């Protein structure tokens, strides 16, 4: 029958032609330019009073205090539990620990690694990686200064994503920068330190003669100590920068080769990846599985994401992806509606909320639940009064009397 569809399509194309005709184009152009001119006038009228009001408000002492970034203290949680100040975190042998900071930054402490938070204010965060490896994703432009110490080295960050591996027993530091830039200073490095840019890495052996006594590491009876993650230590000496290739499956997913990415992930151990990947990579893995049609694996990755990183942005997006899987893949509108409700409960005002509410309206109508659809329509108008589906939401509310 696709032949019939093909014939129908070709005939329809011929019948339709190329468009409404060239004669319509000048009028279209004039209308577009008029709309843009109206937009500019509207913006000028709207923005000027807002700027003036903002300037007046900002000058008021009470508002100034509210706007002062030094006031709100940043808080942290480990795997969803609040972290007390000056705490030490030890990641279990089988899974990573995730430190979420209230400014949006996130640190993933890899299995068997140990770190402590020594200072955490609204302006400064200071951590020490005692042993093992962590991946840091530091939120940009929050006005905070982040420093991560590893042995005799200090890594200063403004806003970036990078990995740190500190092998305390060999005195070896490795830093891989994924985004942004870090400044690394410490023993054996030239003052004021070395800058490493995105895509670069630094490997540095602490000069043996200057080794300090080892920082405390977990008791081997309870938590095994950490060994080097890369074989063969480089000779001591100045740091060198070199590009670091990402893991294969991630590179394949980045090149839109989703099926190959899932195969590569299976070879590494899909379950293990679900158990240890940081949140963003896990969402990428779930999406690769989703796009390649591996619905079971996608669901597994998304559920792992939501269990391991509850409340995080990727986990919230995971609910939306689960809704899509339920509707498009499983043809289960009731499950899709449940996941959409979960997503909206967790992200009531995010960028994707308007679309999710429109989908939920539509699904509720398809499920024959007009009352639920009306409730979603009211919710839609409350949150997105000028949204693209506002007209339909109003029509829906007016179509049946509310009780």
Which residues are at the interface with other proteins (CB under 8 A)?
Answer: 1-2, 4-21, 24-25, 27-29, 31-33, 35-36, 39-40, 254-256, 258-259, 287, 291-293, 320, 323-324, 327-328, 336, 352, 355-356, 358-359, 361-362, 365-366, 388-389, 391-392, 395-396, 399
> Token pair 């099926």 is at which residue?
259
Select 196 or 353, whichever has its Cβ closest to other proteins.
353
Please identify, using beta-carbon distances, which residue of 175 and 353 lies nearer to other proteins: 353
- Rounded to a whole number of angstroms, the minimum distance from the CB of residue 140 to other proteins is 18
Shortest Å distance, C-beta 335 to other proteins = 13
**Structure token digits, residue 126:** 């200071």
9 or 234, CB closer to other proteins?
9
The minimum distance between CB 182 and other proteins, in angstroms, equals: 24
Q: How far is the CB of 253 from other proteins (least distance, A)?
A: 8
Residue 74 CA to residue 287 CA, distance in Å, equals 31
Number of helices and strands in the chain (H, E): 13, 14
Nearest distance from residue 95's CB to other proteins, in Å?
A: 28
* 3-state secondary structure (DSSP) of residue 389: coil
The least distance separating other proteins from the CB of residue 340, rounded to whole angstroms, comes to 9
Helix (H, G, I), strand (E, B) or coil at 71: coil
Specify the DSSP class assigned to residue 225. Answer: P
Q: Which is nearer to other proteins, 129 or 283 (CB)?
A: 283
Report whether 321 contacts 286 (CB < 8 A). Answer: yes
CB nearer to other proteins: pick between 272 and 395: 395
- Comparing CB distances to other proteins, the nearer of 154 and 352 is 352
Q: Label each residue of 72-126 as H, E or C.
A: CCCCEEECCEECCCCCEEECCCCCCEEEEECCCCEEEECCCCEEEEEEECCCEEE
b/e map 44-55, b = 16+ CB within 10 Å? eeeeeeeeeeee
Our CB check for other proteins shows the closer of 163 and 374 to be 374
Task: Specify whether the CB–CB gap between 321 and 295 falls below 8 A.
Answer: no
Minimum CB–partner distance for residue 286 and other proteins (Å) = 13
- Integer Rg of the chain from CA: 27
Inter-helix orientation angle 353-366/313-324, to 10°? 30
């Amino acid at each position: 029958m696709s032949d019939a569809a093909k014939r129908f399509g070709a005939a329809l194309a011929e019948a339709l032609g190329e468009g409404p005709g060239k004669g319509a184009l000048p009028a279209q152009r004039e209308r577009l330019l008029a709309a843009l001119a109206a937009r500019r006038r509207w913006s000028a009228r709207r923005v000027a009073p807002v700027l003036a009001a903002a300037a007046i408000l900002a000058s008021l002492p009470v508002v100034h205090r509210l706007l002062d970034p030094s006031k709100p203290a940043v808080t942290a949680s480990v795997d969803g539990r609040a972290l007390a100040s000056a705490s030490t975190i030890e990641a279990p042998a089988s899974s990573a620990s995730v430190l979420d900071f209230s400014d949006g930054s996130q640190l993933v402490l890899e299995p068997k690694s140990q770190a402590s938070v020594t200072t955490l204010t609204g302006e400064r965060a200071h951590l020490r990686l005692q042993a093992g490896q962590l991946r840091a994703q530091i939120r940009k432009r929050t006005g905070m200064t982040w420093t991560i110490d590893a042995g005799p080295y200090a890594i200063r960050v403004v806003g970036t994503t990078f990995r740190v591996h500190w092998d305390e027993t060999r005195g070896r530091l490795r830093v891989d920068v994924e985004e942004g830039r870090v400044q690394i200073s410490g023993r054996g490095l030239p003052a004021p330190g070395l800058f490493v840019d995105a895509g670069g890495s630094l490997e540095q052996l602490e000069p043996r003669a200057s080794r300090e006594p080892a920082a405390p590491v977990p008791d081997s009876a309870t938590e095994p100590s950490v060994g080097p993650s890369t074989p063969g230590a480089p000779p001591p000496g100045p740091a060198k920068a070199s590009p670091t290739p990402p893991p294969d499956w991630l590179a394949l997913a980045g090149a839109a080769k989703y099926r190959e990415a899932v195969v590569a992930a299976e070879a590494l151990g899909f379950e293990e990846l679900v158990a240890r990947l940081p949140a963003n990579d896990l969402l990428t893995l779930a999406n690769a599985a989703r796009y390649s049609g591996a619905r079971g694996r996608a669901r597994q990755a998304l559920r792992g994401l939501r269990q391991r990183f509850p409340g995080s942005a990727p986990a919230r997006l995971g609910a939306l992806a689960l809704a899509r899987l339920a509707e498009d893949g499983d043809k289960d509108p009731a499950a899709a509606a449940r996941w959409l409700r979960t997503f909206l409960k967790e992200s009531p005002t995010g960028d994707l909320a308007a679309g999710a509410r429109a989908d939920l309206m539509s699904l509720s109508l398809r499920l024959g639940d007009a009352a639920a659809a009306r409730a979603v329509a009211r919710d839609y108008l409350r949150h997105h009064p000028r949204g693209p589906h506002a007209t339909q939401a109003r029509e829906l509310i007016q179509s049946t009397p509310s009780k």
